[in-house]
Copies of this chain bind each other. A is one copy, B any other.
């Protein structure tokens, strides 16, 4: 029946909300000692994983956030000397964002903290289950994004 699938989806949605909150709280606690927050850590990571220096819009797209919210975080990171704006040969206003040595070092520190955290968290859960869960979430997200672009309604 269809109602059962619907209620399973509702369960999943509520679980996504709760886990999202717990991960952010746990991440904040994990990197607080090195002066980071989950949000800044994520942006630092998104910058680090770009092929090269990238404009804010590209980083926001990679993270699935709006350019304005990423811009705010990026500005804060720049004030702390973790990233720098470099001139963009193709666009005068859209400066490129790159990690400083300090930013890169801090990001690597965060990764070192994350390693045992992730290992313990995933302990005993088989890779296939993790992958399968990711795939379900990705599929749902793709549908929501597709719906968003057209006339809403997934």
B22 touches A20 (CB 8 A): no
Count the A residues whose beta carbon is within 8 Å of the partner chain — how many? Answer: 58
- A contact patch SS: helix
Q: Is A90 an interface residue (CB 8 A)?
A: no
Q: Is A26 an interface residue (CB 8 A)?
A: yes
For the complex, give the distance between the alpha carbons of A4 and B18 in Å.
Answer: 25
Q: A6-B122, A8-B127, A122-B9 are in contact. Are A148 and B26 (CB under 8 A)?
A: yes
Q: Is A105 an interface residue (CB 8 A)?
A: no
Q: Is A150 an interface residue (CB 8 A)?
A: no
A130 touches B136 (CB 8 A): yes
Chain A 12-52 near chain B by CB (<8 Å), digits 1 or 0: 11011111111101100110000000000010000000000
Interface residue ranges of A35-92 to B (CB < 8 Å): 42, 63-65
For the complex, give the distance between the alpha carbons of A150 and B15 in Å.
Answer: 22
Contacting A137 at CB < 8 Å: which of B6, B12, B122? B12
Min CB gap A108→B, angstroms: 15
Q: Is A112 an interface residue (CB 8 A)?
A: no
